[in-house]
Structure 1
Amino acid sequence: MVDESERRALVIGEALIDVVRRPDGSAEEHPGGSPANVALGLARLGRPVDLLTWFGPDAHGDMLRGHLSGNGVTISPGSDSAARTSVATATLDEQGTAGYEFDLSWQVPERWTAPVTPPLVVHTGSIAAVLEPGGPDVAHVLEARRDSATITYDPNLRPSLMPPADQTREVVERIVALADVVKVSDEDLAWLEPGVDPLEIARRWAQAGPALVVVTRGGEGATGVLATGHEVDVAAPRVTVADTVGAGDSFMGGLIDGLWSAQLLGAENREALNAAPAETLRGVLERCAEIAAITVSRAGANPPNRSELTEL
């Protein structure tokens, strides 16, 4: 028998260094990468989490390891086998919105072995789910883990790195069909299917497999589309924005954490997740919006600890 208290989250995907260039010409380096940020957010919320990633044995890799391990993320063996650590350059405009350029590589480490205790939830997204040669391997891990774990996915698309939208959409929709929970931004959906209402796409996705598809709209809030046909709207708290780096990843970490607290994770709870009341999910999404708002109020991908959040 598996001791439920020992079950963990497994996050699969890129960890890299974000070089943030500001309008005044200054630049800073921060550990980042969408899946790594999700793992960081979960760890800061007190969740046990393993990160299966890909970085190099260099100074940037040391920065990543120190940052992630220092915040409670367990890095899976073999994750430091890349030739060099990947770098993303984020150039901020006057409103703090980031545009990205990348120098990176991604693959699933060959020496990786699955955890002895099956994870409660497996999350992936962004570059790792699409970029060759690692993307297909990520899909295989999700398929292998679906019998025991909830599968969560955030496309978090990077058009400059990915194939044209029509090709990328095929990959995204294959993973959506594997997932139980999907979080996607309205910007991602606008690139995948220009001119189509984001909620129309979310409704279609929610009938393809997921119990819940959440569309985020930055400062305009978010909408959860349930497979049951219900929809839940939540507002974004009003804050002074430092920058938007990591906001969506913080929201995603909060979503996993909230479903964890609601005892809706794990394959054994898939039926309960599919039948979850709209009001339960509203509370989860409101907490996600609070987490994202805290993140955008300070520089870089810097999600909150649980102690910073409003008590439910």
Structure 2
Amino acid sequence: MKKLMNEADRFVPDVLEGFGAAHADLVQVHGDPWFVTRRDRASGKVGLVSGGGTGHEPLHVGFVGHGMLDAAVPGPVFTSPTPDAIVAASRAADGGRGVVHVVKNYTGDVLNFETAAELLEDEGIAVRTVLVDDDVAVQGSTFTAGRRGVAGVVPVEKIAGAAAERGDGLDEVVAVAERVVGQVRTMGVALAAATVPHVGRPGFDLAEGEVEIGVGIHGEPGRRRGPLEPADALTGHLVEPLLQDLALGGDDEVLLLVNGMGGTPLSELYVVYRGARRHLEDAGVRVARSSVGNLVTSLDMQGASVTTLRLDPELMALWDAPVRTPALRW
């Protein structure tokens, strides 16, 4: 294992201290417990909080700022944050109109956010939860409790954040976020596994010339393994399930998001984007908005995921609304 790190047990604190120093104009990093808040925290709006294990950067800390999250809670590598940290972050994010928790569908995340929500309700803070489960790869899996939350969480946080920023109430922000969850789907592929710092070896083995179709962001098994094919063919294996699951076609408009897993060059992601866009357009789908880059990574995993979100005029306007975070700005 070769990584730019100090001691393995200092990895997460070192990441957060560096992140906070680099983006001190936008965020504030808090320790004991660890969480990140907006530097320009505003009262009088619904607070938006999310979180999950470290190793997926910029998710979630990189999406803290104007037009997106009010706070994010990083756990240990690939491990859910604890309830006390979620409670502290939610208190900080509460502007007097309640807090929305955006939670990816993993057992640890769901349980710990549920516990935190109960504690916050006891304090008089209204909390609502939106569960993100966009991964179409999961079909009767024994490894997960239903579909996993993967890169589709980015448009959920962006669009819900824009709704909160414009002044929507708690129920309205939840309704917008749940509309996105209902219309967003993701499928990924891995070419090589991630190496967790405190483990020191790849999380799974792929033979030379083999890929994992439908891999999860923690290295969970996908739908199948198969041979490495040309990029357009692999991309077709990712896009076809999205078309089927959302019944896309007939002049639907979508956001197309091509996400890198951490170890894939941006040049290759644009090759994937090219293929994905062609597959969608061949099916009669119009790509109205696009995003390409490393947004929901898996440490140094080689691979990519493709996300489609069916858009309507309001969702498109909320996606376009101003955002200023370390990872997204327009």
Short-chain TM bin:
0.3 to 0.5
TM-score (norm 1): 0.34
Greater helix content: 1
When Rg is computed on C-alpha atoms for both structures, the one with the higher figure is 2
